[in-house]
Amino acid sequence: MIDKVCIALDAMGGDHGPEVVVPGAAIALTRKPDTSFLFVGDEARIRPLLDAHPNLAAVSEIQHTDVAVRMEDKPSVALRQGRRRSSMWLALEAVKGRRAHVAVSAGNTGALMAMSRFCLRMLPDIDRPAIAAIWPTLRGESIVLDVGATIGADAKQLVDFAVMGSAMARILFDIERPTVGLLNVGVEEIKGVEQVKEAARLLKEQAFPGMDFRGFVEGDDIGKGSVDVVVTEGFSGNIALKTAEGTARQIGEYLRSALGRTFLSKIGYLLAKHAFDTLKDKMDPRKVNGGVFLGLDGVVIKSHGGADAEGFASAVELGYDMARYDLTAKILQGHVHERAAMAAGMASATEPALAEAAS
């Protein structure tokens, strides 16, 4: 466990830049006082905002740069123009150089992922990164990954995702053996693609001490909170996430229009306002803001681009937790087991052949 967490912030990322990043950090600091910050970006814009928060200013440094990745930049353009000099890159570089424990950016996802891979590199033996989202459920929260870092994944990569997701769940939910499910479809006999079936076989066989593998789950299990960690490849994960967001917005819209329609329903709304506030609170996307980039040699958190200060603070606090309880080390622990189990599996598979050769 780290004593004081230093968080590098891409101050220019997101729709609002420093106007959200600085106040967001100030909110996070009130809840996580053992934190220091490195703001990377345009000093002329950051300094006055920081001056308005003396407590924050006391634990913060600014690293100036003129260059910022734009929200609409393609990853390749961002890399070409922003490498080694943009606020996004320099925040990541602070993590690489161990001057910060975690980088948080509300900048564009594609660029952040491309730069993270380029700057931080992957952990040994993990060939694909994943973005893990925190998903509100009827039981509390679950982790769903990959929600869109890459498309497609073979069985070994899905096992890696399970290892990384359960490492994150151990920190976030403070449980020893989070339950893990593989996302699949429920049509008998065409159940799942080959790689999903094979990943299930491997996860059963390898019996990871750090996870409780529960087999397949379906789309409706996510909202139920049937498992702590839902594993899938990035295409279906991204579609599940966006579809759920769309459905929540759709129902909110129905509700608003239904409740505003008549005088009685308006009165009813006022009387039940507290209940609606509870509901709103439960569905508040700001509370679960922040995707965690997994598989990299360093911790990176992506905040929603449109997040306000409260939302950005959630992403900062998520980064704090991941750094403080050493996500990367926990992933590596799980991964060491995975490799040992694979090696053992291969050894036992080759044994009969060896015995035969010896006879």
Give the contacts of 355 (CB within 8 A, at least 6 positions apart): none
Q: Which of 224, 344, 345, 350 binds its own copies (CB under 8 A)?
A: 224
- On whether the CB atoms of residues 92 and 300 are closer than 8 A, the answer is yes
List Cα–Cα distances, 70 to 73, 78, 89, 106, 191, in angstroms: 5, 8, 13, 11, 42
- Binding mask 287-326 toward its own copies (x if CB under 8 A, else -) reads ----------------------------------------
How many C-beta atoms lie closer than 10 Å to residue 67's C-beta? 17
Nearest residue (CB) to its own copies, 93 versus 146: 146
Q: Measure the CA angle with vertex 11, ends 36 and 8; round to 5°.
A: 35
Q: Among residue numbers 74 through 93, which ones bind its own copies (CB under 8 A)?
A: 74-76
Q: Kindly state the smallest distance separating residue 335's Cβ from its own copies, in Å.
A: 24
Report the DSSP pairing between strands 229-231 and 141-145. parallel
Query: Is residue 285 at the binding interface for its own copies, with CB under 8 A as the rule?
Result: no
Q: Which of 30, 55, 250, 350 binds its own copies (CB under 8 A)?
A: 250
Query: Is residue 246 at the binding interface for its own copies, with CB under 8 A as the rule?
Result: yes
Q: Kindly state the smallest distance separating residue 8's Cβ from its own copies, in Å.
A: 23
Write down the residue that tokens 């910022």 correspond to. Answer: 68
Query: Is residue 183 at the binding interface for its own copies, with CB under 8 A as the rule?
Result: yes
Q: Which of 52, 275, 346, 354 binds its own copies (CB under 8 A)?
A: 275
Q: Which of 269, 287, 306, 325 binds its own copies (CB under 8 A)?
A: 269
Stretch that binds its own copies, among 8-16, 270-278, 304-312, 320-328 (CB under 8 A): 270-278
Nearest residue (CB) to its own copies, 46 versus 106: 106
Q: Which of 188, 349, 355, 358 binds its own copies (CB under 8 A)?
A: 188
Q: Directed axis angle between helix 327-358 and helix 194-206, to 10°?
A: 90
What is the distance between the alpha carbons of residues 114 and 47, in angstroms, rounded to a whole number? 29
Q: Kindly state the smallest distance separating residue 86's Cβ from its own copies, in Å.
A: 16
Q: Kindly state the smallest distance separating residue 76's Cβ from its own copies, in Å.
A: 7
Report the DSSP pairing between strands 179-183 and 229-231. parallel
Query: Is residue 272 at the binding interface for its own copies, with CB under 8 A as the rule?
Result: yes
Q: Among residue numbers 202 through 221, which ones bind its own copies (CB under 8 A)?
A: 218-221
Nearest residue (CB) to its own copies, 232 versus 328: 232
- One DSSP character per residue, 257-319 reads HHHTSSHHHHHHHHHTHHHHHHHHHHT-GGGG--EEEESBSSEEEEPPTT--HHHHHHHHHHH
Q: Classify 355 as helix, strand or coil.
A: helix
